[in-house]
Structure 1
């Protein structure tokens, strides 16, 4: 296992148990069985490690959501969306709880900006889902509907944070899908306009081919020989000198989509090529 990934996995276990602030670099290195020098070869600080873990956590969730928003059958899209949200939250519940707690307490500007950035990406996927589901019928209320969906996501996530009881994810997803459809059908008074949304927090950061190449090179260097690595290398070559049809590019991206270390790059590539 690559040492950077080992540190991230072991630190994740400690953070989930103790929280960010209560866990020291010394504890992390002891738990990993490495020296502090080895730690600082991978991460400049504990804060950098925390950001890397949040990146990994949010990238996987957002890439999964974006994929199903584009590819799920419209009739079950809302259910799939809510189920994916809460399945990921339940699967990583210990770390998700830590993130929610740290968000409410942190003064780390980089962490705050990072979470705002991912929040805007989630909004982008929700708006795409609304477009697929309802089209022009909800044009005037689409942003209010988007905030309502985010409200459902945030409010019901408290069931996982504050109550240690088994939850029926299927029933929860069906219930929230019904509530969302009722709002879409009967909401008549819009409040959030496109202009207001942009004033609140515009998302202007567009990914470039050069940035994707940098990501590809890093991932390729970390991966063992596999069909995913071969696909990554072909995608890198295509970015540098386009030779494949869009169908082949989609196939290569599909090859890497399910690999845990490739979810974000597949998300970036889908956005870059527009599929």
Structure 2
């Protein structure tokens, strides 16, 4: 990296971290570096490009730190994941405008949307890897539910720290969160709870996010229908009943593939399939998707 580009990145990091995207100007960064605005544009075509480069550098630094923590064989999986969680808290505390910027820019500027989708996918994958190390491969099909639960809890505590200035100890909060996640994981396994987020759906979701695209309604619908078929195979019922349900799912797929699916038929098929308790949670998602209720 050239000396000038390095100076620009360092200045951008200071300004974006302390002021956020909207309050920072290219002229401000150029003045801080002692160069003309035109010289800055030789390295970054726009403020947007500079902000993306800033974000990338911050996340590379975060991931590098976490990988360093994970590589220390002297720590237990629990100690490692607590330190990982602390790293995420410190990242947002050191970049307090990041969460606000992500929401504002993703909603208001279509040029940023693909980038933030990829960023979210990368973050979710990192969380999934960390939770798998903590909980073990046996957690299996509960992993995506736990990824969302974990990230939801972390996000709420970050809001308390950043926007409500609550005097919380980050190390204690990180340990508390990991304790709760372990308890929830044990409870899910013990109760044999049906997972909400199926692997097939999340694989499709992650592929779309990594490509900078939102998952389409058609892809989501197909994923749910695939979940119906795969869950059907595990039902503790007769082969005759499975054959009936399989035929109903096939008819439902065919009707939904029509340009103008008949609501009465779709509703009747969903009602028939939903009589099986184990299939109800998927049926309810499909009902919401096709706007029948």
Cα separation, partners in 2 of 1:67 and 1:17, compared to 1, 3 Å = closer
CA distance in 1, matches of 2:142, 2:17: 39
- Offset, 1:98: 1.9
Find the counterpart in structure 2 of residue 84 from structure 1: 87
In the superposition, the TM-score normalised over structure 2's length comes to: 0.62
Please state whether the residue corresponding to 1:191 is helix, strand or coil: coil
Find the counterpart in structure 1 of residue 149 from structure 2: 148
CA distance in 2, matches of 1:14, 1:75: 35
Please state whether the residue corresponding to 2:141 is helix, strand or coil: coil
Q: Give matches, 1:233-252, under 5 Å.
A: none
Gaps of 5+ in 1: 207-275
Find the counterpart in structure 2 of residue 45 from structure 1: 46
CA distance in 1, matches of 2:23, 2:171: 36
Find the counterpart in structure 2 of residue 196 from structure 1: 201
Question: Residues 161-217 of structure 1: CA distance to partner in whole angstroms, max 9, x if unpaired?
Answer: 2023443111111111111111111022311011111233316969xxxxxxxxxxx
- Offset, 1:145: 0.9
Gaps of 5+ in 2: 212-293
Find the counterpart in structure 1 of residue 9 from structure 2: 8
Find the counterpart in structure 1 of residue 96 from structure 2: 97
Q: What is the aligned-residue RMSD (CA, Å)?
A: 2.4
Find the counterpart in structure 1 of residue 129 from structure 2: 128
Task: Decide which structure has the larger Cα Rg and report it.
Answer: 2
CA distance in 2, matches of 1:78, 1:126: 10
Q: Give matches, 1:1-275, under 5 Å.
A: 2-69=3-70, 71=72, 72-90=75-93, 92=94, 96-106=95-105, 107-187=108-188, 188-202=193-207
Please state whether the residue corresponding to 2:96 is helix, strand or coil: helix
Please state whether the residue corresponding to 1:23 is helix, strand or coil: coil
CA distance in 1, matches of 2:26, 2:88: 31
| Preserved CA contact (<8 Å) 1:10 1:28 | yes
Which structure has more relative contact order (CA 8 Å, sep 6+)? It is: 1
How many residues are paired up?
202
CA distance in 1, matches of 2:31, 2:121: 37
